[in-house]
Amino acid sequence: MNNRKTVKISNEEIDQQIQYVVDINKMIKNKGFKYHIITYGCQMNVHDSEKLAGMLSAMGYTETSELEDADLILFNTCCVRENAENKVYGNVGALYPNKQRNPNLIIGICGCMMQQSDAASYIARKFPFVDLVFGTHNLHRFPKLLFDAINSKETIIEILDEEGRIVEDVPIKRNIGVSAWTTIMYGCNNFCSYCIVPYVRGRERSRQPSDIIDEVRRLGQEGYKEVTLLGQNVNSYGKDLDNPYYFPNLLMDLDKIHGIERIRFMTSHPKDLSEELIRAMAESSKVCEHLHLPIQSGSNRILKAMNRRYNREKYLELIDRVREQIPDIAITTDIIVGFPGETEEDFADTLDMVERVRYDSAFTFIYSPRSGTPASKMSEQIDDNIKKERLQILMSVQDRISKEINEAMYGKTYEVLVEGLSKNKEDMYTGRTRGNKLVNFTASEDVTGKIVKVKITQPKTWTLEGIMV
Ligand code: 5AD
Ligand code: SF4
3-state secondary structure 403-460: HHHHHCCCCCEEEEEEEEECCCCCCCEEEEECCCCEEEEECCCCCCCCEEEEEEEEEC
Is 40 inside a domain boundary? yes
Residue that terminates a domain, selected from 238, 265, 288: 288
Contact assessment for residue 163 and residue 186, using Cβ atoms and an 8 Å cutoff: yes
Is 232 inside a domain boundary? yes
Per-residue pLDDT of the chain (469 residues), as tens digits, is 333 333 455 667 777 888 888 888 888 887 889 999 999 998 889 999 999 999 999 999 999 999 999 999 999 999 999 888 889 999 999 999 998 888 889 999 999 999 988 888 899 899 999 999 999 888 889 999 999 999 988 889 988 877 777 777 788 888 778 999 999 999 999 999 999 999 988 899 999 999 999 999 999 999 999 999 999 999 999 999 999 999 999 999 999 999 999 999 999 999 999 999 999 999 999 999 999 999 999 999 999 999 999 999 999 999 999 999 999 999 999 999 999 999 999 999 999 999 999 999 999 999 999 999 999 999 999 999 999 999 999 999 999 999 999 999 999 999 999 999 998 888 899 999 999 999 999 999 999 999 999 999 999 999 999 999 9
Atom of ligand 2 nearest to the CA of 80: 1
Q: Is residue 197 within 6 Å of ligand 2 at its C-beta?
A: yes
Residue from 78, 80, 307 to probe ligand 1 pocket by mutation (most atoms less than 8 Å from CB): 80
How does strand 429-433 pair with strand 413-421? Answer: antiparallel
Is 402 inside a domain boundary? yes
Residues 195, 122 share a domain: no
Q: In this structure, what CATH number is given to the domain that contains residue 89?
A: 3.40.50.12160
Q: Is residue 198 within 6 Å of ligand 2 at its C-beta?
A: yes
Residues 272, 312 share a domain: no
Q: Is residue 303 within 6 Å of ligand 2 at its C-beta?
A: no
Give the binding-site residues of ligand 1, using a 6 Å CB cut-off: 80-81, 194-195, 294, 296, 334, 336, 365, 367-368, 370
**Contact partners, residue 308, CB within 8 Å, separation at least 6:** 192, 270, 271, 296, 297
What is the pLDDT, as a whole number, of residue 170? 81
Residues 46, 133 share a domain: yes
Indicate which residue's Cα is closest to atom 14 of ligand 1. 334
Q: In this structure, what CATH number is given to the domain that contains residue 302?
A: 3.30.750.200
Atom of ligand 2 nearest to the CA of 267: 4
Number of structural domains, the chain? Answer: 4
Nearest partner of 77 among 62, 99, 92, judged by Cα = 92
Cα–Cα distances (Å) from 67 to 38, 39, 75, 106, 302, in that order, read 10, 13, 12, 12, 43
The domain of 347 spans 294-408
Residues 29, 96 share a domain: yes
Residue that terminates a domain, selected from 123, 158, 193: 158
Residues 404, 318 share a domain: yes
| Beta-carbon-side half-sphere exposure of residue 196 (alpha carbons within 13 Å) | 22
Residues 225, 283 share a domain: yes
pLDDT digits (tens, 9 = 90+) for 201-237: 889 999 999 999 999 999 999 999 999 999 999 999 9
Is 181 inside a domain boundary? yes
**223 Cα–ligand 1 center, Å:** 34
**429 Cα–ligand 1 center, Å:** 33
Is 165 inside a domain boundary? no
Contact assessment for residue 113 and residue 78, using Cβ atoms and an 8 Å cutoff: yes
Q: Is residue 191 within 6 Å of ligand 2 at its C-beta?
A: yes
Is 131 inside a domain boundary? yes
Q: Is residue 195 within 6 Å of ligand 2 at its C-beta?
A: yes
Residue from 185, 186, 193, 195 to probe ligand 2 pocket by mutation (most atoms less than 8 Å from CB): 195
**49 Cα–ligand 1 center, Å:** 21
Atom of ligand 2 nearest to the CA of 195: 1
Residues 383, 318 share a domain: yes
CA gap 336, 75 in Å, rounded: 26
**399 Cα–ligand 2 center, Å:** 25
Contact assessment for residue 438 and residue 430, using Cβ atoms and an 8 Å cutoff: yes
Signed CA dihedral, 318, 321, 326, 329: sign only: positive
What is the pLDDT, as a whole number, of residue 439? 97
Indicate which residue's Cα is closest to atom 16 of ligand 1. 80
**229 Cα–ligand 2 center, Å:** 16
What is the pLDDT, as a whole number, of residue 103? 85
Residues 354, 280 share a domain: no
Rg (CA), the chain: 23
CA gap 434, 329 in Å, rounded: 9
Q: Which residues pair with 262 in a beta bridge?
A: 226
Q: Which ligand is nearest to the CA of 235?
A: 2
Residue that terminates a domain, selected from 393, 408, 423: 408
Contact assessment for residue 246 and residue 256, using Cβ atoms and an 8 Å cutoff: no
pTM of the model: 0.92
What is the pLDDT, as a whole number, of residue 6? 37
What is the pLDDT, as a whole number, of residue 9? 57
Is 234 inside a domain boundary? yes
**294 Cα–ligand 2 center, Å:** 10
**204 Cα–ligand 2 center, Å:** 11
Is 398 inside a domain boundary? yes
Residues 283, 218 share a domain: yes
Name the packing angle between helices 11-28 and 43-59 (round to 10°): 60
CA gap 442, 390 in Å, rounded: 39
Signed CA dihedral, 39, 41, 42, 48: sign only: negative
